[in-house]
Amino acid sequence: MKAVFLAGRILFGGFFLYNGINHFRQRKSLAQYAGAKQIPAAEAGVTVSGLMMLAGGASILLGLKPKLGAAAIVAFLSGVSPLMHDFWNVDDPGQHMNDVINFSKNLALLGAALFLIGVEEPWPASIAASRRSAPQRVVDFARRLAA
């Protein structure tokens, strides 16, 4: 189960890490798109949302303060989804479908991020787990044996 959880973390965290990097690489074009969606201070919004994705993705991937990382992802998705993928305001059928798909995808990602907030720490194969003291690891091992 630990391997499956780690694989999920790599995919989920990596998705946000990659897209956060992409936000900075394509900041100008993303800011133009956000401006077309009537987002005030669009370039600043793209920068802030890129930082939220970078921090959240890295946190989930490494298992370092993952609840805070997941909270950053929740905040990003909660703010961006209704503003950027407002399919209910779109008349063009192609753009409408694109926004429905992206809004729905973001809702699923939001659900996953909320789920991760509820997972107890430290996560397996994480930086936080590797920082546990040797005595704590002995205690944890003894508890597993007794269970």
Angle of CA points 27, 106, 45, to nearest 5°: 30
Name the residue with higher pLDDT: 124 or 35. Answer: 35
- The predicted model gives 113-137 an average pLDDT of 77
What is the predicted pLDDT for the residue at 134?
54
- The predicted model gives 40-58 an average pLDDT of 96
- The predicted model gives 97-116 an average pLDDT of 97
Mean pLDDT across the chain, nearest whole number? 90
Q: Reply yes or no on whether the pLDDT at 25 is more than 60.
A: yes
Q: Reply yes or no on whether the pLDDT at 107 is more than 80.
A: yes
CB 75 within 8 A of CB 129: no
Domain that holds residue 58: 2-146
What is the predicted pLDDT for the residue at 112?
97
- The predicted model gives 6-26 an average pLDDT of 96
For the chain, how many structural domains are there in total?
1
Q: Where are the alpha helices (DSSP H) in 26-131?
A: 27-36, 42-62, 66-84, 93-117, 127-130
Confidence of residue 133 (pLDDT cuts 50, 70, 90): low
